[in-house]
Amino acid sequence: MSIKWVLFVVCATSFLRSVASAGDVVSPLPGRFTKADASETPDFRRHVLPTMGRMGCNSRACHGSFQGQGGFHLSLFGYDFKSDYDALTAGQHPRIDLAHPENSLILNKPTSADNHGGGLRFPEGSWQYNVFRRWIETGAKGVSPGDAEFVRLTIAPAEVKFDHVGATAKLRIVASWSDGATEDVTAISRFRSNDDSVATIDEDGVITSRGPGDSHVVAFYDNGVQPIPVMLPMSDRVGSRYPDVAAPTLYDRLVIDKLRKLGVVPASTSTDAEFLRRVSLDLTGTLPGPKDIESFLADKSPDKRARKIDQLLETPAYAAWWTTKLCDLTGNNPQQQSDQIYKREQSRQWYEWIYRRVLENKAYDEIIAGLLLANGRDKPDQSYLDYCREMGSYFRQSKPADFTARKTMPYYLSRTNVRKPEEKALSVSYAMLGVRLECAQCHKHPFDQWTQKDFTQFQAFFQPVDVGVKPPSGPEAKQLREEVGIDKLGGKNRKQVIATIHERLEKNQPVPFTELYVNNRQIPPFQRQRMEQMLKNNPKFAAQLQKKGKAGTPPTVTPKLLGAEEVPLADAPDPRVKLMEWLRRKDNPYFARAWVNRTWAAYFGVGIVEPPDDMSQANPPSNRPLLDALAEGFVAHHYDMKWLHRTILNTAAYQRSWRTNASNQLDNHNFSHALVRRLPAEVVNDVLMQATANRQQAEAMQTSMENRAIGPALDKGDRYLLVAFGKPDRVVTCDCSRSNEPSLVQTVFLLNDAALRGRIDAGGWMQQVRQQIQPGKGRPVSPAASDALIREVFLRTVSRPPQEDEMKEAKNVVATAAGPVDGIRTLLWTMLNTKEFIVNH
Amino acid sequence: MSSHIYCDGLHRRDFLRIGGLAGVGLSLAQYLQIAEAGQVGPSKAKAAIFVRLSGGPSHLDTFDMKPDAPASHRGEFREIATNAPGVRFCEHLPKLAKCADKFAVLRGVSHTLADHRLGTKYLTTGNRPLPSLEYPGFGAVVSRELSGPADLPTFVAVPGGEETTGYMGVEYGPLNTGQTPKPGRKMEIRGLSINGGITLADLDRRQNLLKKFDRAFDSLGNQDKLLVGLDRFTQRAFAMIRSPKVRTAFDLSQESSAITGMFGEESFPQSCLLAARLVETGVRFVTVSFTGWDTHDDNFTKLKMQQLPPLDAGLSGLFRALDAKGLLETTTVFVTGEFGRTPKVNARGGRDHYPRAMFCLMAGGGIRGGQVIGSSDKLGLGPEHTPITPDDVAATFYHTLGIDITKEYRTPSGRPVMIVRNGKAIEELVG
């Protein structure tokens, strides 16, 4: 026996109990089990399950299916150790045979292609065969409570930079456990490429470069999900050959750092007119007015862009557009409001509550706290009847009280589609963390660290939160309901009941309202301890607990922050408070990043994490230092949203042209040039109005939000247009519910919709044009007046003066039209139908 | 109602590429097999109507009943005989039972994606969804492969569809009607009607004018998908607005009473009538969506009261009207949900998502009607024999339209992808 072999055996046999010293990495599993007489005892969690995962046994298409396959069911992605262990060893048809290991189904099925629906997985005598057989021979042990926990994956190389298509690199994956053991698990890990056109990865962890660009490959083992950046430069202008590119801000430097590695040279700066239109649409959802454009173009001062950003940040349109986005995110939909009569009013109040805070530039975390920590009664010691009077005062016809003065805004959590604690958990993780937890509701998240237990414990933060009447006010509420007769609201007396309610509201008499409240009752600790013990022993129990976790009852399990500590309930009568504290904590990896990333995505058409609502381990940021720096700055500036806007909008990256060069034309996620984006639905509605309204109305639209689709009123805007252009319905928790894709219907609408044509042909502005030109008096129109109107058409639509050739062409249009008014009208229609108008560029 | 889309907790990237199970492309041998499978006669269809039963209709309560199953599974409905020997449907589909000879039923169609969005992607593309690639839906592929008359939309969705244009880009997307038609009424598709003093000559002038002024992005060439798509839409839109055919097609009052009498008055049957008229006019692909099939609770009442009567009236009307107009031979009709529903009735009297066994219907375009292809097992738990995959169904569908599924498109990043990667046309249907 060679020395090498001796060492190997010692290392392998002592594997389970030994604490390997640092750097003592256990060699790969296949080598240790090449021989049938290997004496090591394989570990169920560390070796047996990952081997099955690697062969696809627990995939969705095979035994990981919710229904199982051939009567054998494994947990999806293999993280429910107990249930998988039971599926293999217990029940009527155990898959192993301790007395005659060689007769075990888990050996005979995969080796016999004929009787196995999944075909041949490994031959007899292969290392996989030996691992399984040896595990059975040694007693087929499962997991025990005292076992070491998985700690992390360490991957070499940490980053892969290719220099030609077809080049390869092999990964080595090492798993660390809490007992100090480390093992090379490359052979029993799974892999995925995030972009096959950049690089592919095979089952052995060999990466092959497929084309220029950058992406990640991801390795999976146990609960570990580890992305590895891969790239092939897009040009030969890398490193020292990279040109000198101005990087005026910290964030520009971080963008350029990445571009330099990729050999991507950024586009030049946008023109002043392009910048003005872009920033006005992005920041305020509004076109710049003709006067604004003229004075901005005439301004020769070097800081005019920065000043314009500051100026736009002070407009109501800024507050309205970003309130619209916050309403998208938090799901402000009139149909889902809690009140039976005042749904639409509630939806408007929700908007206004946020609007006021955005306008006053209240800190982002304060706004979120107002939603997350909301209570119906948010004044100390308010009685139920006083609460009802207060709520009534917001809905009465004459001089309604100011809802926006409320400290908290309860409608986010009182919506009918988030009544269950699990629904609140999903909404909060999506909106406030940018994390999708759906997967973990039913099984371990395949692309992140979240387990079902994590989900159940996260949902516990919301379990005591309910909509109804907070005990002990029940009897009072019942009496009031009877007095008002509100239970007849569903019947034929509806009108009468509503009349009674209106009347009482005007007299400041209470009418019954439901309230968002927290049940602070505690369940006896021994009971919860029992639940937790069960949860620990049987992960299946997590699903049952989720279902049992009825809203308005004390949490059955101790709430646990995502990826952080548990929150003992004794310290937290309202566990949401602890959740909010965690959101604000410096080490919170999601809260600030989620908002910073969404803001960035709104300005660049693509997030640093893309899609922005998928912050998961397998979907890493395209530029981590950039995301970190922005989030750090945002927190350091006390969640000042205007600071964030100002910072991003003042970067050279934001102000770049869409005109690409040979090195950056394929780049679409490293911010090397502006991406052309179709305008969002509400903005399309509003800019069409702006372009066709008379001069006074158009100006008023910049300051009054009342007639705007981005404003507070629910009935403003052309519904057909808004649907056709993809306004989100705010029901699903997905950033994808807003669609900015173009369609044939949109084009047909812009070309020929009767209502829109009416506004073009005879809207406010055309009436002014008609008056100005006065064709009735037979006086010829002066060329100067005609030219000024042509110029105004361009300013109103594409926000720039006409170029020389365009001016010539436009004059020709006016000269050859049935009359000058007709000429201007035709020109207006034409410009509204250019691509330049309907996109932000 | 839950606040998220994926009731089975699936993630948009919920597909690991796993060792030997990774989706492999077809080998040359497999190509040849398919080519030879051409027992496969020449295709007959020039157009298609794709009926999407959105939400996943129960197979056990419609076209794949199990009258001998225990009460816990078989449900409340009875079976009735049809005009096709040996073929039996649910009692709430009497009109379809009378024209069962016109269409084929596929049973034991099977896959593993129990999530609406992913199941829909699979069934509307014929390709199992991948995290890295968005496949185009049938309508987009047909729009690209079968160009129709320039003055008609190639692809109309009534009232709108869930199909995506995927890597093909937005220019192959549908004209969504945005609403469903009302009996005997002219449907106003906003923007399609010519009125308000505009003449055709005006339109010509305006189109020329637009070409002169819409040049800001000329320097980008065909680089930007969004801009290319916008251009394509503009050309089509002009042609359509000018077309008298379009206005006639959307005007249900111009249909003969003999035909309208075949349809019910609800919105689904009327949508089917519109689909028949659109195809008659020359539209290549019509998607009709019919929602409400996600019957997690109270399955039987919902089916009996809301879902099955319009389905019965709409589909039977569609098959008979196409036949009467002489269009059934040249039009393939494909009806599918995204999955079947759990054979065991749940505690709320509902059935949940169940992709292991579902049904599809196919008619016209050379499909032999009056037959059942495939079968599910005794309890409808899974295919009895070899499963029919969504890939195979899609391959069959494309075959009837003369579209070569092995044709490769290039994605924007240059990756070659076949139209259907793993499917094979089902011989019994098209042979």
What chain A holds in terms of domains, given with CATH numbers, is 33-137 (no CATH), 150-262 (2.60.40.1080), 272-318+594-674 (no CATH), 337-358+365-584 (no CATH), 681-724+742-840 (no CATH)
β-pairing verdict for A839-840 and B47-53: unpaired
Which residues neighbour A739 within 8 Å (Cβ) at sequence distance 6 or greater? Answer: A726, A728
Helix, strand, or coil here: B168? helix
Does residue B352 share a domain with residue B298? yes
Whether the predicted model's global pTM rises above the 0.90 cut: no
Helix, strand, or coil here: A146? coil
Neighbours of A544 (CB within 10 A): 14
Confidence of residue A15 (pLDDT cuts 50, 70, 90): very low
Q: What is the pLDDT of residues A121-135, one digit of tens each?
A: 889 999 999 999 999
**Which amino acid, one-letter code, is at B76?**
E
Name which of A61, A799, A377, A312 is nearest B422 in CA terms: A61
A190 in contact with B, Cβ within 8 Å: yes
What DSSP character marks residue B196?
T
d(CA A817, CA A761): 14
d(CA A654, CA A781): 43
**In percent, how much of chain A has pLDDT > 70?**
93
Report the pLDDT averaged over residues A583-611: 96
**CB contact (8 A) between residue B209 and residue A813:** yes
Contact A779, A674 (CB under 8 A): no
Which residues neighbour A53 within 8 Å (Cβ) at sequence distance 6 or greater? Answer: A77, A78, A188, A190, A220, B18
Closest residue to B5, CB basis, from A67, A619, A732:
A732
Does residue B261 share a domain with residue B214? no
Helix, strand, or coil here: A278? helix
With residue B359 as reference, give the H or E element that holds it. strand B358-363
B422 is a domain residue: yes
Confidence of residue A36 (pLDDT cuts 50, 70, 90): confident
Neighbours of A176 (CB within 10 A): 18
Domain boundary, last residue among B204, B219, B249: B249
* C-alpha distances out from residue B43 to A823, B32, B367, Å: 52, 18, 10
**Which amino acid, one-letter code, is at A277?**
R
Does residue B300 share a domain with residue B195? no
d(CA A568, CA A577): 12
B153 is a domain residue: yes
Structure-model confidence comparison of residues A414 and A762, the more confident one:
A414
d(CA A175, CA A186): 9
Residue B295: CATH number of its domain: 3.40.720.10
In DSSP notation, A284-320 reads HSSPPPHHHHHHHHH---TTHHHHHHHHHHTSHHHHH
Contact A555, A576 (CB under 8 A): no
Question: Looking at CA atoms only, how far is residue B156 from chain A in angstroms?
Answer: 10
- Enumerate residues 792 to 811 of chain A having a beta carbon within 8 A of any beta carbon in chain B: 798, 806, 809
Does residue B131 share a domain with residue B67? yes
B17 is a domain residue: no
Q: Which residues of B touch A658 (CB under 8 A)?
A: 217, 220
d(CA B123, CA B118): 9
Structure-model confidence comparison of residues A442 and A773, the more confident one:
A773
The pLDDT score that the predictor gives to residue A66 is 60
* C-alpha distances out from residue B246 to A648, A755, B46, B249, B322, Å: 48, 20, 18, 5, 19
In DSSP notation, B396-431 reads HHHHHTT--TTPEEE-TT--EEESSSS----HHHH-
What's the structural domain count of chain B?
2
Does residue B225 share a domain with residue B262? no
Q: Please state which of the ranges A168-172, A330-334, B43-47, B88-92 shows the lowest mean pLDDT.
A: B43-47
A656 in contact with B, Cβ within 8 Å: no
**CB contact (8 A) between residue A743 and residue B6:** no
In DSSP notation, A382-432 reads --HHHHHHHHHHHH-SSS---GGGSS--THHHH-GGG-SHHHHHHHHIIII
B12 is a domain residue: no
Domain boundary, last residue among B249, B268, B300: B249
**CB contact (8 A) between residue B227 and residue A838:** no
B8 is a domain residue: no
**CB contact (8 A) between residue A834 and residue B206:** no
Query: Positive or negative CA dihedral for A624, A627, A628, A629?
Result: positive
d(CA B113, CA B355): 6
β-pairing verdict for A182-184 and A25-26: parallel
Does residue B138 share a domain with residue B265? yes
Q: Give the tokens for residue B243.
A: 């077309």
d(CA B88, CA B64): 8
Does residue B279 share a domain with residue B133? yes
Helix, strand, or coil here: B89? strand
Q: What is the pLDDT of residues A295-309, one digit of tens each?
A: 999 999 999 999 999
Low-confidence ranges of chain B (pLDDT < 70): 1-43, 131-133, 169-171, 195-197, 411-416, 431
**CB contact (8 A) between residue A193 and residue B229:** no
The pLDDT score that the predictor gives to residue A742 is 82
The pLDDT score that the predictor gives to residue A65 is 67
User: Tokens 């993809």 map to which residue?
Assistant: A726
Report the pLDDT averaged over residues A261-282: 97
Q: Which domain range does residue B127 map to?
A: 24-179+257-430
* C-alpha distances out from residue A208 to A160, A165, A217, A232, A362, Å: 10, 8, 11, 11, 50
A-B CB pairs within 8 A amount to 223
Does residue B292 share a domain with residue B411? yes
Q: Which residues of B touch A447 (CB under 8 A)?
A: 11, 13-14
d(CA B133, CA B17): 13
Helix, strand, or coil here: B366? coil
- Enumerate residues 672 to 701 of chain A having a beta carbon within 8 A of any beta carbon in chain B: 676-678
B153 in contact with A, Cβ within 8 Å: yes
Name which of A742, A747, A768 is nearest A825 in CA terms: A768
Closest residue to B356, CB basis, from A67, A190, A833:
A67
Q: Please state which of the ranges A303-307, A355-359, A518-522, A546-550 shows the lowest mean pLDDT.
A: A546-550
Q: What is the pLDDT of residues B395-424, one digit of tens each?
A: 999 999 999 998 888 765 456 688 998 889
A414 in contact with B, Cβ within 8 Å: no
Does residue B221 share a domain with residue B137? no
Report the pLDDT averaged over residues A29-48: 93
User: Tokens 């509420």 map to which residue?
Assistant: A477
- Enumerate residues 326 to 385 of chain A having a beta carbon within 8 A of any beta carbon in chain B: 331
**CB contact (8 A) between residue B175 and residue A757:** no
Helix, strand, or coil here: B47? strand
Does residue B421 share a domain with residue B307? yes
Mean predicted lDDT score pLDDT of chain A: 90
Does residue B211 share a domain with residue B298? no
With residue A677 as reference, give the H or E element that holds it. strand A677-678
B356 in contact with A, Cβ within 8 Å: yes
B13 is a domain residue: no
What DSSP character marks residue B306?
I
Closest residue to B216, CB basis, from A190, A416, A835:
A835
Mean predicted lDDT score pLDDT of chain B: 85
Q: Please state which of the ranges A177-181, A294-298, A435-439, B157-161 shows the lowest mean pLDDT.
A: A435-439
Does residue B244 share a domain with residue B132? no
The pLDDT score that the predictor gives to residue A462 is 95
d(CA A318, CA A313): 6
- Enumerate residues 729 to 768 of chain A having a beta carbon within 8 A of any beta carbon in chain B: 731-734, 741-755, 757-758, 761
Domain boundary, last residue among B218, B249, B280: B249
**CB contact (8 A) between residue B9 and residue A441:** yes
* C-alpha distances out from residue B127 to A74, A126, B116, B373, Å: 25, 34, 15, 21
**CB contact (8 A) between residue A54 and residue B18:** yes
Q: What is the pLDDT of residues A598-640, one digit of tens each?
A: 999 999 999 999 889 889 898 999 999 999 999 999 999 999 9
